[in-house]
Structures are given as structure tokens and as C-alpha cells.
Structure 1
Amino acid sequence: MLCAVEAHHAGLLGAHARVIPRAKLRPLAVTRREIARLGPPDGLELAMPAPEMPRPHRGVSWAVGDAFSGKVQAGWLTALPGRIVIVDDGLATIRLLELLTGRAWTPLLRARATASPLRKALGVAAGLRLRAAARAGRLSVFTALPVPAELAQAVRDRGAELVTHDFAWLRSQPLRGPGPRERTVVLGTSLVRNGLIHRDRYFTWLAGLGSTEPVAYFPHRREDPDDLARVREQPGITVYDGGAPAEMTLRGLAAEQRVLSLPSTAVTSLRVLLSARGVAVETVDVPDEWWTAQAAPSLRSHLSMFAHHDTGVTG
């Protein structure tokens, strides 16, 4: 949602745009409320949450984050949008770019997804439609991620427009107030819930941090509630559950504070937002023994994009 606002601010969505969040998702509700409080850019309407994805009128521009959604892909085939704008959806954006620049019949499917023949067929058709939009000059990708130069050139060679941004709209907004008082802020991770790192290794590391100094912990939106309950039991760790993206919640940190995170796309955006304030944003180098058998080498390679010039850990 935040990247959709930034895309409109950057002029990719035309003079008028509507942002329609999915219903019954608390993080989206909190983010919508915070954007409304700040005041969205001119020409942008924050619509009420909808239980189902709306079907856009034929020929209008369509901005989406989750390009691997079956409903989104079906919409590309039936609604025939005039222009498609892919707004940043984290690491999935890099995978999408790799698939788009791969073989023509490669289906657009999530990493580690187990798909039925029908779902694969939809992914193939969606990929063909998206590549056709690129060749026609009707596909834009809007991201704050560091896209490798070779991949970025391959995307442009396909005809797609690749636009990078630095959260210009958000950086121009006034700060709401001071953030957490703790010197060290830890970003939660989805790697545990997704079965990619061992739970006990992660909690041993957190316990070590909390025994050294007070720690502010900001959960990932997909963390398991039982895991969060366990985090709250760790001495020295305070869990802040604001619900809004870290980019909005933590942009007021002071120079004497630091952010620690396992490999995450939030590291990139927070560095953009906090560098001028002198706040260190450090990626934790995940030891080999933390990874589970489900963490494929390709995934670990993707995550390594966000682990440069940072700090290590001991598990």
C-alpha cells in the first residue's frame, strides 16, 4: 500500500488513482489509517477495504503488489487493463523480474509453491500476458530494491519500464513523534514461521541480545502468534505491535539508535529513510547452522542481497 502511494506521488498512476486494500487484514487497516493521517498525495483516494478484489474497467491502469496472486493473474486475462504497474512487494519482486526475463513459457508462481496443472497453466498465461504488455510499453515496475544491474538491463530489454524510488513522499511527511526509546531495535522475521531457519537458534540469539541491553522488537506481519508470545517472555525485550510498516513506524529514530534485522527487504528501505539521521541499519549474517533444509540455495542467494557491510551474530 505504501509503495502504491509512492508510485502515485512519482506520477506512474496518472492524475487520479484509488487504493483499495483487502478487508480483514489489520496491517493494511493500520497503514491506511496512518496514510490518511499524514494526508495522501493529491489525486489519490484511499478507498474503503473490500472483501474481494475489484474488477477494474477495461483499459484503465492497474497497480498491483502481489503479481503471484491467482486472482490478480486471472484479472490480467479477463479485465484487460490498459497499463500494469507492479509496485514493490519485497523479495517477490526480484523473483518476478527473474521469471519475466526467463523463458517465455515459464509460469509466474511463488517460490516453493506446489501448483496444480490448472494453476501452472494460469501462471503461464499470466506470464505471456505480462511479457506482451512489456513489449507494448504498457508494463512498469516500481521498486526501492537494489535490482542487480544485469537483471535490470534484461527487464528493460523486454520493454518494461523499471523505476526505482527512495520513498520521496514519505520522507517529505512530518514525523509523528519519537520512536522507541531503546538503543537497539530488532525487526521481526517471517523466516521462522516459513520454516527456513531453526526456531531455537533464533530465540537463543534474541535471548542473548535481551540479556545485554534493553531491546525494542517490532514484529513481522506474518510472525506466528505463539512465537510472539515467546518473544514477549524474553527478559529485556519489549514488543511493539503498531501494525504499520517499519518504514513508517521507525523513520523517527535518533542517531544514537540502531536497527538489527535478519535479511529483509525492509533493510533497504530503512537505510534510505534513516541514513540522513545517522541511524545504523545492520543486517544480521545468518550462520549456516540456522538454516533448515527448506532454505534452498537460490533463496539464500536472494536474501544475501540485503546482507552487505553489516554485523554478524553467534548462535
Structure 2
Amino acid sequence: MSESSASTLALVESPVQLLNVLEWAHAEAAAQAEWPLLGAVPAQPTRGGRRVPPLQGLRIVVLPPVDPMSRGQLRRMAALARDEGHQVRWQEARGGRLAPFRAVGAMARQMRRADRIVVGDPFSRFVQLLLTLVRAPELVVVDDGTATMEFAGQIARGERLVRWHRVGAQGLPGKVKELAYAPVSSTARRRFTPARTGRRVEVFSSMPVTVPEGVELRVNEFAWTRSAFGPPRLTQGTDLVGTSLVETGVVEPERYLAAVRSLAAAYGATRYFAHRRESPEKLRTLSEATGLEIVRPDLPLELIARRGPIGRTIVSFPSTVVHTLPYALRGTGVTVAVCDVDPAWLTGGASPRARSFLAGVTDTARDVRRLAASAAS
């Protein structure tokens, strides 16, 4: 692909990240279209004294994970991105000890030449490694779910970039590995700190985040999704939304199963939209225990819900969708409800941040109905 035809490079590792890159591109194109009306020079629009890179030929590099569900959704999202006129490159960076090094070599020139980098997951170690090559004067972070809330807080406090559910390295080998990687992580954190680098940094998010001084915030209202899909046909029933809280070691499997069973019975739910990381064994157990129809979406739930059919009520545990679905389904009459996670459901190995983080996801959700954990008991 041409190095001169595109000056914005996006790095994504999940279907949701790719969806949010499309949302950001839609919002940025709309903003650039308005600038001539505000007196900006059309050929050389500027923001904060800098020339703004045009969006023509946006390049998106997909760094796929190994699990089949994520890869399948990413391929579908990549097709949608190409339909929107963006260039998409599939770059394997996992699946072997040499794969990351080959990927860095293949991408190094693009990383150095890009005028703007859009990042889907600032916690990704591979993305952090790529950021050491960045010379671009602009960095944009789009949502990777609720992790954006933690990212914004850690940048504001000057802390290490660590996922909220992650427990510290165990054993000597793990600690040595963490120590060796620390300079890369530290460099990545500095890249997101305008005061230290002079870069323009933007966070494009649907989450209730507070960004530090110098970082710009733009709200993702899912305008592209609403313009491209729907409105959906509504069913009379209730749909449940699954989470990967069991897979990430936060919630006990038996507690999760009991909570889903209780919610299905209390609200007459008939379908369960599985998270892409939920295991087949867990979903089979859920189906047998609850009678729910298990739906494995081939696209992010925001698009699935917008296309329909979808229940008039959607019930979820604390997760990204309690923040994104109210935007995506605005004006459709769908009610989104969130059920608290009882602290008794947490595993013994859950991180110290798990309880307060999950409570924060629920407490800050807008335009949703809140259900006490007792509703799932």
C-alpha cells in the first residue's frame, strides 16, 4: 500500500477496537468537513497549530489474536472497513516465538512515517513495543471496552499501564520478565503524556472517563453504527448478554451459572449473546442448565443489536455494552439493564481492583436500569 496516500495508521487487535476505529474515522471526517465553514483553510486544516492529517486512505493494521471467534469477527469487521474505503492489512503477530519480531520488522517503516497513530489497546504489550518506534505528532486511543476507564486513570496518576483484572507476576521467571519489559512499558506511558512529549493525545470513548490535563476527549456516540444499521425490529422478550468474567479469573464459574439461571427465570429471557472469549464448554453448560438459546455473534454486539431483531430489554453484568448500547440503540425503545456483581461471586485470585472497578462500571453507566445483585440470587 502507498506510503504517501495515507498518513493515519490504526492498530487494532479485537473486533470492538476495529468498530471504534470506524466510529472515530466517521467522527473525524465529519469534523474536518465542518472546518471550511469555520474559516479553516480546506487544503491545510490545523488543530492546535498543527496540520491535521487527512483521512483519505486510512490504513488499518489488524493484529489478530489466536482464538477463532475473535478472528472470525475481525474478518467480518475488516470487510466492513474496506467497504468504507479504508485499507486493511492483516498482520500476524502471534502464534510463534518469531512472529512478533517478524511483525515489528514488517511494520517499522509505517510506524515511523505515520503522521497520526490510532491505538485500540494501549495495554497490549505488542502495541507498546510498536509505540517505541513512533514519531507521529498525534496519538489517538479508541475504546477497548471498559479498559479505557482504567487507562485514563493510570495516565492521570502517572502509574504503570496494567489491566484492572491482572494480578502481578508470580514466581521468579515472571518477575524477571516484568522487569525486563519495564522500559518498553515506561516509554509507551510517556507517549501518552502530552506534557512530556509535546504530542497531541486524544481519547475517543463511550466510557465515563476523565482525562488528564493536556489530553483531549471526544465522545463516541456510535454515529456511524446508527447511520449504517437499523433501526432494529424488536421482539417482546428479554436478551441476556454474556461476559468473560469467568475466563479472566474474576468470577467463580458456579456463581456465574447460578446468576444467569436466576436472571433468565426472573426476566423471561430466551437468548444469551455470548462474549467472544467464552468457552464452548461453559456455554454448553449454560444452555443445558437454563434452556437459553446461545447466540455467538459474528460481529460486535452493538452492530448485532442495531441490525436486530433484539429484545425490548437487554440485561448484562458490568461490561462495556452497558455504556455502548444506550448510544447504539438511541431512539429505538430498547431498555438496557445492568446487574451488579456480588462480591461473594469473586474468585480468591481476583485482583484487588476487581470489586471497585466492577462497581464503578455499573455506577457510571448512563441511561440504563440498575438491578441489584440480589436479582440474580
Change in 2 beyond 3 A, CA 1:90/1:235: closer
Shift in CA distance, 255/223, structure 1 to aligned 2, threshold 3 Å: closer
Aligned to 1:242, the other structure's residue is in SS state coil
On the 8 A contact 2:61/2:90 being kept in 1, the answer is yes
Distance 1:176 1:31, change over 3 A: farther
The answer (yes or no) to whether the contact 2:117–2:140 under 8 Å persists in 1 is yes
Partner of 1:205: 259
How far apart, CA to CA, are the structure 2 residues paired with 1:38 and 1:72?
21
Classify 1:255/1:176 alpha carbon distance in 2 versus 1 (closer, same or farther; 3 Å): closer
SS in 2 for 1:109: coil
RMSD across aligned C-alpha pairs, in angstroms?
Answer: 2.7
- Structure 1 stretches lacking a partner, 5+ long: none
Q: Letter of the aligned partner of 2:86 in structure 1? A: L
The structural deviation recorded for 1:210 is 4.1
Q: Please state if 1:310 is matched with 2:370.
A: yes
1:15 to 25, 37, 55: 55
Q: Whole-Å Cα distance in 1 between the matches of residues 191 and 310 of structure 2?
A: 47
Return the alpha-carbon distance in structure 2 between the equivalents of residues 7 and 121 of structure 1: 30
**Correspondence for 1:189 among 237, 243, 247:** 243
SS of equivalent to 2:348: coil
Note the alpha carbon deviations across 1:153-203, whole angstroms, 9 max, x for none.
Answer: xx2x1x121111200111101339647x57111111111112211211211
Q: Please point out which of 25, 44, 47 is paired with 2:86.
A: 44
Superposed, 1:155-234 pairs within 5 Å as: 155=212, 157=213, 159-175=214-230, 178=233, 181=235, 183-211=237-265, 213-234=268-289
Give the alignment of 1:50-69 within 5 angstroms. 50-52=91-93, 53=103, 54-55=107-108, 56-60=110-114, 61-69=116-124
TM-score (norm 2): 0.72
Aligned to 2:198: 136
Question: Cα distance 1:134–1:234, how it changes in 2: closer, same or farther (>3 A)?
Answer: farther
Aligned length: 303
Greater mean deviation of Cα atoms: 83-92 or 300-309: 300-309
Change (3 A) 1:100 1:235: closer
1:78 matches 2:133? yes
Name which of 110, 122, 139 aligns with 2:163.
110
User: Deviation digits for residues 55-106 of structure 1, max 9, x if unmatched?
Assistant: 3242411111111122211211124334211111112211111121113xx3
Q: Which amino acid aligns with 2:19?
A: L
1:109-144: CA deviation from partner (whole Å, max 9, x where unpaired): 333252520122221122123214775242111111
Amino acid at match of 2:61: I
Deviation at residue 31 of structure 1 after TM alignment: 4.7
- Mark the CA change 1:30 to 1:314 in structure 2 (over 3 Å): closer, same or farther: closer
**What letter corresponds to residue 60 of structure 2 in structure 1?**
V
Q: How does the TM-score come out when normalised to structure 1?
A: 0.85
What's the secondary structure of 1:247's corresponding residue? helix
* Letter aligned with residue 97 of structure 1: A
Structure 2 unaligned blocks of 5 or more? 1-17, 30-52, 94-102, 170-174, 364-368
Distance 1:307 1:283 in 2: 7
Q: Which residue of 1 aligns with 2:4?
A: none
User: By how many angstroms is 1:253 displaced?
Assistant: 4.9
Give 1:5's aligned residue: 22
Change (3 A) 1:82 1:204: same
1:122 aligns with 2:122: no
Distance 1:228 1:88, change over 3 A: same
Other-structure match for 1:92: 147
* Aligned equivalents of 2:255, 2:297: Cα separation in 1: 26
| C-alpha distance in 2 between matches for 1:258 and 1:97 | 31
Equivalent-residue separation in structure 2 for 1:133 and 1:175 (angstroms): 42
Equivalent AA in structure 2 for residue 5 of structure 1: L
Q: 1:128 to 1:30 in 2, by over 3 A?
A: closer
Contact 1:30 1:244 in 2 (8 A): yes
Q: Percent identity?
A: 28
Summarize deviations over 1:231-258 as a string: whole Å, max 9, x none. Answer: 2223430001123111011124579621
Counterpart of 2:25 in 1: which secondary structure? helix
Structure of higher CA gyration radius: 2
Which residue of structure 2 aligns with residue 251 of structure 1? 306
Q: Report if aligned partners of 2:231, 2:332 keep a CA contact under 8 Å in 1.
A: no
Cα pair 1:186 1:218 within 8 Å, conserved: yes
Contact 2:69 2:276 in 1 (8 A): no
SS at match of 1:233: helix
2:140 partner SS: strand
